[in-house]
Amino acid sequence: MQSFDFYNPTRIVFGPEKISKLATLVPAEARVLILYGGASAQKNGTLDEVRAALGGRVVQEFGGIEPNPTYETLMQAVEQIRREKLDFLLAVGGGSVIDGTKFVAAAVNFPGEPWDILETHGRSVRSALPFASVLTLPATGSEMNSGAVITKKATHAKLAFMSPMVFPKFSILDPTKTYSLPPQQIANGVVDAFVHIVEQYLTYPVQGMAQDRFAEGLLQTLIEIGPKALATPEDYDVRANLMWVATLALNGLIGAGVPQDWATHMIGHEITALHGVDHARTLAIVLPSLLNIQRQDKHAKLLQYAERVWQIRDGSEEQRIDAAIEQTRQFFEGLGIKTRLSGYGIGPEAIEPIVAQLVAHGMSALGERQNITPEVSRRILAAAA
């Protein structure tokens, strides 16, 4: 196992009717800004529960944070906070609202142009306003991590930042709030969490025995509950497990002390920025093709994945690897998520601009061995056509 420094200060409050706990979790004297997305949190009653729990505190609201939250929209929230002297942020929504809130928290007192937070991938963040979240969509893990992904509309740049300053103080996870999610968003959530686990697991062996077994258990749980989450939307146990697995998939625990490969995400972000494809769907396009092209580097772990996650034991090593990659693709397709660029109306002429954006954003040495050069990314995309 490699050396590591694991830190995660986010408190998780999990279960039905836990939104009422905001009454004691948010400081009594706080001047609160509730941030949310479109209409979903109002429609399913989450916002009303949040407002009721905050009681007599000073509370303002900022709605309209879009999926793949934009710098342009978020800067309006920053202005409102500065103008109204608000001091505690509460994100109510999915990954986009929570990520957007992280950026806003870091931007309010940022000296200089806040886009610099993204350009420095968070290294320039020295402080942030305290914030918390009420999660309504299990997928990103943003509710218990210190990362965020923000898009600048003007330049089609979708960049990530991380900072220990932007861990949520606490996050409330009420699985019943996910019942109103449309099937596409549930499928997205299953795939996003699955790929987060794979990117911390499917690299090369370093004898991280607990991390490996933990990752394999999370993957197997997703394989078991993913289809059920679509078939029986109001099955509490299924939704509760999905919510907790998605959080555990990206809260730092399984990635501590093991190599990581975020190439699928980095290539996927460029596809979203240029073509507006949902985040998880870009991952479903890139991952099977990346595993195939990187199969030599990932050989030992691909065999372990085949055996322990998919119970594939017959055939030559290469046949077992082929079967594991095919099972992965079929799992995504079975959830209704297409795994080829052509499935989204994106033709081969789109590949070069995606590679050019990777280069422009410094993504020229991706993967656990930094050997996914622009040329390799081009091959991965061509194989995903």
Sites of contact with Zn ion (CB under 5 A): 192
Nearer to Zn ion, 26 or 96 (CB): 96
Task: Find all residues with CB under 8 Å of 160, minimum gap 6, and list them.
Answer: 118, 121, 147, 148, 149, 150, 265, 269
List Cα–Cα distances, 195 to 15, 268, 288, 312, 369, in angstroms: 25, 11, 10, 20, 18
Q: Work out whether 250 is an interface residue with ligand NZQ (CB under 6 A).
A: yes
Residue 148: name its binding partner from Zn ion, ligand NZQ, none (Cβ under 5 to 8 Å by kind). ligand NZQ
H or E element in which residue 152 lies: strand 147-152
Nearer to ligand NZQ, 46 or 211 (CB): 46
Nearer to ligand NZQ, 192 or 306 (CB): 192
Residue 60: name its binding partner from ligand NZQ, Zn ion, none (Cβ under 5 to 8 Å by kind). none
Instruction: Quickly list DSSP for 273-302.
Output: HHH---HHHHHHHHHHHHHHHTTTTTHHHH
Q: Work out whether 99 is an interface residue with ligand NZQ (CB under 6 A).
A: yes
Q: Work out whether 168 is an interface residue with ligand NZQ (CB under 6 A).
A: no
Tokens found for residue 13: 């409050």
Residue 246: name its binding partner from Zn ion, ligand NZQ, none (Cβ under 5 to 8 Å by kind). none
Nearer to ligand NZQ, 133 or 321 (CB): 133
Q: Is 370 strand, coil or helix?
A: coil
User: Within 39-58, which residues bind ligand NZQ (CB under 6 A)?
Assistant: 39-41, 44
Q: Work out whether 93 is an interface residue with ligand NZQ (CB under 6 A).
A: yes
Q: Work out whether 255 is an interface residue with ligand NZQ (CB under 6 A).
A: no
Q: Which residue has the tokens 């996910």?
A: 178
Instruction: Quickly list DSSP for 188-254.
Output: HHHHHHHHHHHHHHSS-----HHHHHHHHHHHHHHHHHHHHHHH-TT-HHHHHHHHHHHHHHTSSTT
Q: Work out whether 136 is an interface residue with ligand NZQ (CB under 6 A).
A: yes
Q: Work out whether 68 is an interface residue with ligand NZQ (CB under 6 A).
A: yes
Q: Which residue is nearest to Zn ion (CB)?
A: 192
Q: Work out whether 114 is an interface residue with ligand NZQ (CB under 6 A).
A: no
CB of 200 to ligand NZQ, least distance (A): 12
Interacting residue ranges for ligand NZQ, rule: CB under 6 A: 37-41, 44, 67-68, 93-97, 99, 136-137, 139-142, 145, 147-149, 177-178, 180-181, 185, 188, 192, 250, 265, 279
